[in-house]
Amino acid sequence: SNSALWGARFEGGPADALAALSKSTQFDWRLAPHDIAGSRAHATVLHRAGLLTDEELADMLAGLDRLAADVESGAFGPAPADEDVHTALERGLIERVGPDLGGKLRAGRSRNDQIATLLRMYLRESARTVGGLVLDLVDALVGQASAHLDAAMPGRTHLQHAQPVLLSHHLLAHAWALLRDVDRLRDWDRRTDVSPYGSGALAGSSLGLDPSFVASYLGFSAAAENSIDATASRDFAAEAAFVLAMIGVDVSRIAEEVILWATKEFSFVILDDAWSTGSSIMPQKKNPDIAELARGKAGRLVGNLTGLMMTLKALPLAYNRDLQEDKEPVFDSLDTLHVLLPAFTGMVATLRFQTERLEELAPQGFSLATDIAEWLVRQGVPFRSAHEVAGACVRLCESRGIELWDLTDDDLASVSPALTPAVRSVLSVPGALASRSAKGGTAPDRVREQLDAVRAAVAAG
Ligand code: ARG
């Protein structure tokens, strides 16, 4: 016999190498408070089903309270022989209330319904914290957008100058993506708000225990409809891993821009000293390490999602031990974002934008060519011809090494009789910006409304 929860039918204890492989306390111990909460709920339904007396329930709950306090203070922790968090805590309870009472708690539950419940509880709590950290980053973007509401910058497609946009419009584009991630967490939480407790190993419980009571005791809205699904499904963990990976990917897109913007060639931003790093050999260096780590960690977050999906692929019902592999990827994703997001937010909040340079570059690279074409359309020229005329202007400028606004009246007329000097009215950045005034556009008035909408979404949390 051995100290495991399942020793009786075995002649001896597990081989050391098996125990070493099987062991999960090094990563599942963080679920201990939730395991104890589950035990309180379970003791209470055992009592309601007449399987514990009033006195036994009181002693059990008092023992669980002492255990919880000892776990919190560190006085109690997993021993080398404990297979997992559940095994360790059963040992802890028995040490506190004795084997007769302590041995009653396991009736009608399995580690399979326990772990599925605890993981949901833990992920829901941690995801709320991550959601708050994402909103802090959105706040930092809002701060920068409102500090630079009217500064223009070169908007890009294919990384080439495309059309002038407001810097605030560009920053808020990142904010919207992050707000959708927070919304995804909220939506995921609603789906994850179902308790597997009471499903037992896979078939449900036979002892007259009420899963709905346990569900509401533990703060879930409902108990699971199907005990097999409840113990075998981990799509809630995979979906969490996806949303966390999506956050990492969205952050990495900001990161890549900051890295480019901080180069000598771009010189769009200066990183704050407290949020950048130096080089051990090159005294002049100031490196965007936070942004680079963010870019790198996005790969790690996607890897966690991919690994978990591979664990789940083709797994037959119901519980299989493979499912123990569900925890490390999601824990790592949560831990990664807990460390990354505050640093990233600090970096974004302290970026110093070089708005003079941004403004100067905004109209360069013929980024107002579309405005010439659209001006011609307003004069009744078909867009196909207008596009050609504007393109011919660009070609002429390129051959002479000048910008569109340097073309003389004669130059314009030589390209097309439709190009009267009045076209110059649209060859300005403020004009180009103001003209994009439909909903969602970069016109200053629209961006002010947008900023209010983002602020409202952050406040709604
Ligand atoms: N430690 C396991 C897990 O994380 C739960 C225990 C289930 N073990 C078992 N042999 N049924 O999935």
CATH of the domain at 60: 1.10.275.10
- Domain hosting 128: range is 112-149+159-360
Assigned domain for 154 exists: no
In a domain, 300, yes or no: yes
Q: Which of 90, 107, 124 is the last residue of a domain?
A: 107
Residue closest via CA to ligand 1's atom 12 equals 324
C-alpha–C-alpha distance, residues 100 and 159, integer Å:
71
- Do 27 and 132 belong to one domain? no
Mean pLDDT of 43-61: 98
**Which residues does 40 contact at the CB level (< 8 Å), separation at least 6?**
61, 64, 217
Per-residue confidence band for 13, with pLDDT thresholds at 50, 70 and 90: confident
Bridge partners of 269, per DSSP, are: 353
In the listed set 46, 73, 107, which residue is the last one of a domain according to the structure? 107
pLDDT score, position 7: 77
- Give yes or no for residue 170 having a pLDDT over 80: yes
Co-location of 216 and 353 in the same domain = yes
Q: Are 217 and 62 in contact (CB under 8 A)?
A: no
Q: 429 and 335 in one domain? A: no
Cβ neighbours for 266, distance < 8 A, ≥ 6 positions apart = 260
Distance 51 CA to ligand 1 centre (A): 25
pLDDT band, very low/low/confident/very high, at 2 (cuts 50, 70, 90): low
Q: Which pLDDT value is given to residue 324?
A: 98
Are 321 and 380 within one domain? no
How many Cβ atoms from other residues are within 10 Å of residue 231's Cβ? 27
Dihedral angle, C-alpha 57, 63, 68, 71, nearest 10 °:
-150
- 1 — pLDDT class (breaks 50, 70, 90): very low
Q: Are residues 64 and 183 in the same domain?
A: no
136 and 273 in a single domain? The answer is yes
What is the C-alpha to C-alpha distance for residues 20 and 392, in angstroms, rounded to an integer? 73
Residue 231 lies in a domain: yes
The answer to whether residues 118 and 267 belong to one domain is yes
Ligand 1 centroid to residue 382 C-alpha, Å? 69
- 83 in ligand 1 pocket by Cβ < 6 Å? no
Residue 176, pLDDT score: 98
Measured in angstroms, how far is the CA atom of residue 46 from the centroid of ligand 1? Answer: 22
CA of 337 to the centre of ligand 1 (A): 27
Q: Which of 25, 84, 120, 315 to mutate to test the pocket of ligand 1 (most atoms within 8 A of CB)?
A: 84
**Residue 115, ligand 1, Cβ within 6 A:** yes
CA angle 121, 125, 128 (to 5 degrees): 145
Can you give the CATH number for the domain in which 376 is found?
A: 1.10.40.30
Share of the chain above pLDDT 90, in %: 93
Task: Check pocket membership of 333 for ligand 1, CB cut-off 6 A.
Answer: no
Q: What is the pTM of this model?
A: 0.95
Residue 134 has pLDDT above 50, yes or no: yes
Are residues 123 and 192 both part of a single domain? yes
Same domain as 379, residue 353: no
Q: Does 232 contact ligand 1 (Cβ within 6 A)?
A: no
pLDDT in tens, 275-319: 998 888 888 888 999 999 999 999 999 999 999 999 999 999 999
Q: What is the pLDDT of residues 176-214, one digit of tens each?
A: 999 999 999 999 999 999 999 999 999 998 899 999 999
| C-alpha 433 – ligand 1 centre gap (Å) | 59
24 lines ligand 1 (CB under 6 A): yes
Do 368 and 398 lie in a common domain? yes
In a domain? residue 1: no
Question: Are 330 and 194 within one domain?
Answer: yes
In a domain, 2, yes or no: no
Residues tagged active-site: 158, 279
Assess whether 134 and 97 both reside in one domain. Answer: no
Is 80 exceeded by the pLDDT of residue 55? yes
Give per-residue pLDDT as tens, 355-371.
999 999 999 999 999 99
pLDDT tens column, 416-435: 999 999 999 889 999 999 99
Q: What is the DSSP string of 356-397?
A: HHHHHHTTTTTTTHHHHHHHHHHTT--HHHHHHHHHHHHHHH
163 in contact with ligand 1, CB cutoff 6 A: no
Task: Tell me the CATH number at 192.
Answer: 1.20.200.10
In whole angstroms, give the CA distance from residue 410 to residue 421.
Answer: 9
The SS3 call for residue 209 is coil
**Which of 47, 75, 107 represents a domain boundary (last residue)?**
107
- Look at ligand 1, atom 6, and give the residue with the nearest C-alpha: 111
| Rounded distance between C-alpha atoms, residue 236 and residue 123, angstroms | 9
Q: Is the pLDDT of residue 47 over 50?
A: yes
The count of domains in the chain is 3
Q: What angle do CA 186, 190, 195 make, to 5 degrees?
A: 135
Q: Is 112 in the pocket of ligand 1 (CB under 6 A)?
A: yes
